[in-house]
Structure 1
Amino acid sequence: MKRKIFLNISLVASIAVISASILLVLIFYNFHLSREKSSLKDYAHMMANSLEVLESRNIHTLISTENPNLRTTIVNENGEVVFDSAVNPNTMENHLNRIEIKTALKDGSGESIRYSTTLDKDTYYYAILLSNNWVLRVSRQTDNILSVFMKILPSIFFIVPLILILSFLISSLLTKNILKPVENTTSNMEKIITGEKFDEVEIYDELIPFIRTVSKQSEEIKLNIKTLKEKADIMDTITSNMKEGLILVDENKNILSANISGINLFNGNENNSYYGNNFIQLCRNIEINEALENVINHKKEMDLIIESNEKYLNVFLNPVISNNSILGAVILVVDSTERHKADLIRREFSANVSHELMTPLTSINGYAEMIESGMAKGEDIVKFASIIRKEGARLLDLIDSIIRLSKLEETEKNKDLLPIDIYNIASTIRESLITVAKDKNIDLQVHGQKTIINGNKIMIEELLFNLIENSIKYTNPGGKVEVTIGKDENHSYIKVSDTGIGIPKESQDRIFERFYIVDKSRSKKTQSTGLGLSIVKHIVEYHDGSIELISQEDKGTTVTVIF
């Protein structure tokens, strides 16, 4: 054991001596190289100063009188060699990409060292920019580090063995008294790391309190890491499943945390955590960034409603403060697009309902007052009573349509869907409307085949009834209404075509809106509420379908529903 320890210490000592020797060589080499560089730089600057006052024809004369061990080259601003003291410049390649030339043209001076395998020497190049934008380059061959090492190798061979012998003697004396307790301490430190109980035998007394402290702290650190990891996992699970966006930033607006919802609501890349990035890299909205700046600078919370990319976002910004110092801010983002749209629809709906209800009620009230006041006599009373009955029926029909439309809006999509045959339903609806069609001398036909879809039977019945009835209403006597049921490779469809009066092009985009009526005078004759096609649209959306309309005035209309 002692021999092994001694050899290990000797090895360390040997490495130390060798390292010191190498370091000595490096120091000597660096000193030698520094002196060579300094000498070459001084010569280059002297030559540059001399060349500034000479014409180009005197360059060769000047350089030939200088140190013959140095090589001098002059390069113009295009990298072409104008002069070289060792080689014919006409045979030399362009020097514009040489490191020292490129650096000199950019910074005023440049240098580099290149090794020659032929001469086994380094060549040091130093270049300086002249006033005419030419470059003067001076080079000198110098010993490389291996050559320097070989020169001082005899001295090293003499000194190193003496140092090693002295190191071996000292190591042998210290090994017995020091090494064993240190090894025991090291062994116990390893036990602490692995969680084993450590042994205090043959350990320096001074190290025992340290070992115990480290052991205690090691356990505390493990427990704290476990607790923090559990809390971090819980927090990450919560924020990852939030519909709301949650973003934390520091006092410099750099992102500390951002959940997926927050990244998506700001149209960011969800594959990027944005950790450490400035908030503006995630959110480009100027108003939000200015609000965040105010929150951090003035330590006050702010709320915003932002409209961006057809989305409405409620943004809540709160400062994070500790000991009256701002640490950052918390940003909560709530997507309120659906709520905003619902509010807008409700406002429009309320306004339209009020207007549509007012018309029949005003008519009823007016005729009732005339009867009550005695202004109506005989046949007029019967006439007014008939008008009141018709307006009342229209009012009831309107209220019934409003109730059905409200139920459709409140019903959860794709609920209670069962396999149904839409061809069979269309045939049934034809039977219920055939009398109405015959009264107007309209040919009502249903074509197609058995077509099964997953749907709500009551809703599909209402959809077909509204479409077919609508076509009958707006088709002149002698016309034709044709219903086609079918399917292709991917979809099933309902197509209702008529030869009616058609819909003006400017009204076709709005025909499915609530209470929209193309011609008010025409709707009075047909007793239209303006809600039938709106109900159709909601039923189609309930089934995740689509609806298309093609119409031409005085030629007819085709409505196609695709499931």
Structure 2
Amino acid sequence: MTKRIFRATLTVALTVLLASLILIVGVLHGYFQDRVLDELSSRTSYIALGIEHEGIDYLENGFPNDCRVTWVAADGAVLWDNREDPAGMQNHADRPEVHEALLLGRGHAARYSDTLSQKTLYYALRLSDGSVLRVSDTQYSVWILVLQALQPVALVMVLAFCLALWLAGRLARQLVEPINAVDLNDPGEEIGYEELAPLVGKLRSQKRQINRQMEDLRRSREEFAAITENMSEGLIIIDRETRVLSHNAAALRLLDAQAPTEEDSVLALNREPGFRRCVEEALAGHRREELLEREDTCCRVLANPVEQDGAVTGAVLIVLDVTEKERREALRREFTANVSHELKTPLTSILGTAEILENGLVKPEDIPHFAGNIHREAQRLIGLVNDIIKLSRLDEGDAAAQWETVDLRATAEEVLRQLAPAAEKQQVTMTLEGGPTPVRGVPQIVEEIIYNLCDNAIAYNRPGGSVGVTLSSTPEGERVTVSDTGIGIPQELRERVFERFYRVDKSHSGGGTGLGLSIVKHGAAYLGARVELDSEPGKGSAFTLTFPPHSETWQDNK
């Protein structure tokens, strides 16, 4: 703006200066022309007076040659001229100034010479004898006058130009300074020009409106960030060029990616083909869903296009952690397959034995043996079904029992009593150490846990081995440890022993269902207890169940 004001002011100053110069030159030219005519008139009258008294002798006796004098007879013939020979001159009766003098007594004219760029002024006066005296002189044109005064005029123009530059610059700064002094962020009440009052008022109004909008936008962004950052699902918003417009921490965590910059493509976050297909399909206007599987995680990506005025302007990607769901689904399929297999074995044995009996292929003395097989397989089948029901209830958190104080010693004594025949059959010695140990829990579940631990210790023991149940109190809570001198569990299999239907050594299972340690794991989780395993192959294993303190268990189940 300062430059525009400076240029405008300088242009006006120079225009006025040039116009003034042209006007002055024009006025001076007209003034000089009038002065020359006056001088010619005076001189003509003076010479005419001399001719009236002395005649032609006046003209021939040293008449000055600074101007041209011509004496013309009444018929136009040239009688005398101080510049040329009268004999060779044309008749002057048709000359305007001479013709006018013959008619009116005096006359004047001006003629311009393009060759010499000068103008000649003529003044004629009629004498008493009817002749005409004409006096002429040269007047230079305007441009000749300007050229003659070029040096002083140029000096004046340069000085005037410099002065105009300085004045224009100073004026521009003075005009713009009050405008620049206005604080657009906080315009005050006092302003340099009253003409700026409407503008400043509008600025104040717009500033208040912008502040409100910025505050609303900030609040909305904070709310959006708070919502998205606390989402367990990943959220990514991209534009038409796949640039990431917004994302939350969950998306980076689930995709195992680094935070992108403003110009990064969303495809840089994950380079798996399924993720790329989701992005491409969404930007093409179609919904897409893909499953991304890695070693330890499994994510489902849902991509939806974002449309505006019928055109796709971007996409929204939702990343869901379905690791647990997929694991549960895999466990469900495995469990179903295992249950089918485990149920099929006793049922096949029962069916085969029943068919033999039905067809009369068994001798009367062998009937008790075959009936015993049916009885054992039926018991095994019922035990398997019961264990499955127990696991299902524990999985669903529905034990259908009241919490109460349970004495671990009394429970352990009852379990050892129940397993005494099995231990005697396996030639395993069982011992119990520790006094009364009360805990908060569900009696049936506590008994089931200790029973399965002791049953496994007997089943996987060696002849002449031992099983020890030890009760103790620690700052962490009450403990029950079941140890054996059996085959032990290798390090790489310790995590798998708690899986359903998994057996370390099927030859030592004794016809078990393979669900015992799964019931222990789920029952402990239901009671809030912790199960620890310490084992050495060939020397035995020790399972430690630590119950939380009474106060914690009570508060958790209150």
TM over 0.5: yes
Instruction: Return closer, same or farther for 1:292/1:276 CA change in 2, 3 Å cut-off.
Output: farther
Q: Where does structure 2 lack aligned partners over 5 or more consecutive residues?
A: 1-158, 548-558
Q: After superposition, give the CA deviation of every residue in 1:165-210 in whole Å (9 maximum; x if it has no partner).
A: x97xx98xx99xx99xx89x979x99x969xxx999x985x65654
Specify the alignment match of 1:396 in structure 2: 382
- Is the aligned partner of 1:548 residue 2:533? yes
> 1:446-457, aligned counterparts within 5 Å?
446-448=432-434, 457=443
> 1:48-67, aligned counterparts within 5 Å?
none
Q: After superposition, give the CA deviation of every residue in 1:531-555 in whole Å (9 maximum; x if it has no partner).
A: 11222233345536343242444x5
State which drifts further: 391-400 or 377-386. Answer: 377-386
Secondary structure at the aligned position of 1:318 is classed as strand
Specify the alignment match of 2:223 in structure 1: 234
Two-structure CA RMSD over aligned residues (Å): 4.7
> 1:427-438, aligned counterparts within 5 Å?
427-434=413-420, 436-437=422-423
Secondary structure at the aligned position of 1:357 is classed as helix
Query: Is this contact kept in 2: 1:463–1:539, CA < 8 A?
Result: yes
Larger radius of gyration: 2
Identity of aligned residues (%): 33
* Residue identity matched to 1:530: G
Query: Is this contact kept in 2: 1:537–1:547, CA < 8 A?
Result: no
Q: After superposition, give the CA deviation of every residue in 1:52-88 in whole Å (9 maximum; x if it has no partner).
A: xxxxxxxxxxxxxxxxxxxxxxxxxxxxxxxxxxxxx
Query: Structure 1 CA distance, aligned partners of 2:201 and 2:487?
Result: 97
Instruction: Return closer, same or farther for 1:474/1:522 CA change in 2, 3 Å cut-off.
Output: closer
* Residue identity matched to 2:530: G
- Is the aligned partner of 1:332 residue 2:321? no
* Residue identity matched to 2:230: N
> 1:127-206, aligned counterparts within 5 Å?
204=194
Query: Structure 2 CA distance, aligned partners of 1:443 and 1:364?
Result: 34
Query: Structure 1 CA distance, aligned partners of 2:275 and 2:487?
Result: 55
- Is the aligned partner of 1:527 residue 2:516? no
Instruction: Return closer, same or farther for 1:319/1:412 CA change in 2, 3 Å cut-off.
Output: farther
- Is the aligned partner of 1:359 residue 2:348? no
Secondary structure at the aligned position of 1:548 is classed as strand
* Residue identity matched to 1:527: G
Query: Structure 1 CA distance, aligned partners of 2:417 and 2:520?
Result: 20
> 1:487-498, aligned counterparts within 5 Å?
493-498=479-484
Specify the alignment match of 1:314 in structure 2: 300
Secondary structure at the aligned position of 2:302 is classed as strand
Specify the alignment match of 2:542 in structure 1: 558
> 1:24-103, aligned counterparts within 5 Å?
none
Secondary structure at the aligned position of 1:221 is classed as helix
Shift of 1:259: 1.3
Identify the match of residue 266 of structure 1 among 238, 245, 255.
255
Identify the match of residue 484 of structure 1 among 470, 482, 495.
470
Specify the alignment match of 2:452 in structure 1: 466
| TM-score calculated relative to the size of structure 1 | 0.56
Specify the alignment match of 1:84 in structure 2: none
Q: After superposition, give the CA deviation of every residue in 1:468-510 in whole Å (9 maximum; x if it has no partner).
A: 1222344456442111233566676433222346568897664
Query: Structure 2 CA distance, aligned partners of 1:436 and 1:290?
Result: 60
Query: Structure 2 CA distance, aligned partners of 1:517 and 1:426?
Result: 24
Query: Is this contact kept in 1: 2:267–2:276, CA < 8 A?
Result: no
Query: Is this contact kept in 1: 2:433–2:470, CA < 8 A?
Result: yes
| TM-score calculated relative to the size of structure 2 | 0.56
Query: Structure 2 CA distance, aligned partners of 1:363 and 1:435?
Result: 25
Q: After superposition, give the CA deviation of every residue in 1:437-487 in whole Å (9 maximum; x if it has no partner).
A: 456664321124566767655433221111112223444564421112335
Shift of 1:528: 1.1
Specify the alignment match of 2:235 in structure 1: 246
Query: Is this contact kept in 2: 1:306–1:313, CA < 8 A?
Result: yes
> 1:288-303, aligned counterparts within 5 Å?
290-291=276-277, 294-295=280-281, 298-303=284-289
Shift of 1:382: 3.7
Query: Is this contact kept in 2: 1:193–1:218, CA < 8 A?
Result: no
Q: After superposition, give the CA deviation of every residue in 1:319-345 in whole Å (9 maximum; x if it has no partner).
A: 334346553332210000000000000
Shift of 1:396: 0.7
Query: Structure 1 CA distance, aligned partners of 2:445 and 2:396?
Result: 14
Query: Is this contact kept in 2: 1:255–1:276, CA < 8 A?
Result: yes
Query: Structure 2 CA distance, aligned partners of 1:395 and 1:386?
Result: 14
* Residue identity matched to 1:259: N
Query: Structure 2 CA distance, aligned partners of 1:529 and 1:303?
Result: 40
> 1:401-440, aligned counterparts within 5 Å?
401-411=387-397, 422-423=408-409, 425-434=411-420, 436-437=422-423
Query: Structure 2 CA distance, aligned partners of 1:434 and 1:501?
Result: 20
State which drifts further: 541-550 or 390-399. Answer: 541-550
- Count residues in correspondence: 383
Instruction: Return closer, same or farther for 1:276/1:531 CA change in 2, 3 Å cut-off.
Output: same
Instruction: Return closer, same or farther for 1:293/1:383 CA change in 2, 3 Å cut-off.
Output: closer
Shift of 1:310: 0.9
- Is the aligned partner of 1:515 residue 2:501? yes
Instruction: Return closer, same or farther for 1:454/1:291 CA change in 2, 3 Å cut-off.
Output: farther
Specify the alignment match of 2:244 in structure 1: 255
Query: Is this contact kept in 1: 2:278–2:290, CA < 8 A?
Result: no
Query: Structure 2 CA distance, aligned partners of 1:363 and 1:186?
Result: 100
Instruction: Return closer, same or farther for 1:238/1:518 CA change in 2, 3 Å cut-off.
Output: closer
- Is the aligned partner of 1:443 residue 2:432? no
Instruction: Return closer, same or farther for 1:412/1:275 CA change in 2, 3 Å cut-off.
Output: farther
Secondary structure at the aligned position of 2:389 is classed as helix
Shift of 1:403: 1.0
Query: Structure 1 CA distance, aligned partners of 2:494 and 2:233?
Result: 38
* Residue identity matched to 2:244: I
Query: Is this contact kept in 1: 2:532–2:544, CA < 8 A?
Result: yes
Query: Structure 1 CA distance, aligned partners of 2:404 and 2:268?
Result: 45
* Residue identity matched to 1:545: R
* Residue identity matched to 1:352: N
